[in-house]
Amino acid sequence: LITSLTLGAEVITIVEEKAVELALESNISLKKQEINESNAILDKKSSYNVFIPRFEGVGVMQDSNTAQVVPMTNNEIPTTNFVGSVEASIFLNPGLFDGVKLLNRNADVESLKTAKERAVVIKDTKIYFYTLLLLRSQIDVTRDIIDTLESRYNQVKKNYDSGYTDELSLLEVEVSLESARPTLVKLEQSYSLSLQNFKYQLNIDQESEISLVGEIGQEFKEYDFESVQKALQTNNLDIQLLDTNKEVLKLQLSLKKFMTFIPNLGFSYTKGTLYNDPLDSDNWDRDNFSDDTGDFKVMLSMNFTPLLPNSLERVEIKKINNGIKSLELSRKELIQGLTVQGIKMVQDIKTSITLQKSLNGTIDLAQRRLDLTYDSYNQGTKELLEVESAENDLNSARLNLLGEQYNYLVGIFSLEEMIGESR
């Protein structure tokens, strides 16, 4: 019982790296894609099986309606006999080499899809982690606001009871206090729901208590568009996926042409034995066996139907060519879109850094103003409304800074995913 209570009270500490690790381990979509990649790798490793001859063994018990006569000797062969044979065969075509390459490239496609899925999970998990930190920080600021308003209300209430202030001043403070409480309730509800979803994504029991450790304010990372543009061309997974899919289509095209317009060369070797009258004869009588059956064949085969105009194979070849052209256009369109998106992301990050620096300065000034205003209020030279105004300006600046710090991180994580730096 003591052990159970101890385990039940254990708090799980979650930092950014731990959150990403748990998300990668428990994400269902990623696990399914990893299975697809594993199957593609199995196909890649076994792709050279097409060059292994096909071996087949056949055993036939047969009963003929009429007796067969052996030429030259005129000896009758019993109507009942057993035939056993082993055959090895292989058909060769230059397209087989493209088939091997095709399986290798398919494995590369699935690997890129897995990397893309991992990058999305990493980005989304980081954003969710810092969303929770943002909500928690907003809750802290709102609680500070409520605590300050409660203290002021108690002070004004004492002054009102002593006859040093009027009822209007008391009501103004009370209205501000009661207006702040619903905001706190909504933030706490949002945080609670988000935390439950976060636990679900990380495969953590809902009854477990977790502690998020991290700071929403971080050191700045600045990007210039030239380096982002270069990284897009070399590291963007969507572009790599399009390029690899184009290679796959080219291999499919080459394979289709070889298999359609080039004859197949086949080799076959059969070795068999004939056992006469297996039901009635002496099984150990060597004269009942005929071991000289079998043959070796060299075959050349080709289907001439695809040579006709508008045959099914020719239509499929045209469709593959159209698919390659479509991928080339998609690549141009993707690069254009990513370029515009990259310019905006870099600019948004630079703007966010500038705003954060400005808001930090605003917070310092607002804090100094509040201190001086409160001192003047205590000396009787400032009104309570001026103190509240100074506090509102400070709290507004703090909340704006939190929001901008969050926007900066979201921009960084999204840009890292786009240029292939998500880890």
Question: Cα dist. 358→224, 283, 381, 401 in Å?
Answer: 21, 102, 30, 9
Q: Select from 45, 44, 47, 50 the least CA-distant residue to 109.
A: 44
How many beta carbons lie within 10 A of that of residue 131, not counting itself? 18
Low-confidence ranges of the chain (pLDDT < 50): 1-2, 4-6
Q: Which residues, 6+ apart, have CB-to-CB distance to 60 below 8 Å?
A: 82, 83, 84
pLDDT on residue 61: 83
Residues with Cβ < 8 Å from 377, sequence gap 6 or more?
383, 384, 386, 387
b vs e for 63-83, b when ≥16 Cβ sit within 10 Å of the residue's Cβ?
eeeeeeeeeeeeeeebebbbe
- pLDDT one-digit tens code per residue, 374-415: 889 788 787 777 888 888 899 999 999 999 999 999 999 999
> Across the chain, what does the average pLDDT equal?
88
Measured CA to CA, the distance from residue 384 to residue 166 in angstroms comes to 12
Closest by CA to 251, choosing from 107, 56, 396, is 107
pLDDT tens across 222-263, in order? Answer: 888 989 999 998 899 999 999 999 999 999 999 999 999 999
pLDDT at residue 165, rounded to an integer: 79
Task: Give the SS3 label for residue 71.
Answer: coil
Q: What is the pLDDT of residue 1?
A: 46
Give the three-state DSSP class for 60: strand
Q: Give all strands of the β-sheet with 54-63 in edge-to-edge order.
A: 54-63, 80-92, 264-276, 289-301
Asked if 65 contacts 89 with a C-beta cutoff of 8 angstroms, the reply is: no
d(CA 304, CA 63): 39
| 8 Å CB contact between 69 and 23 | no
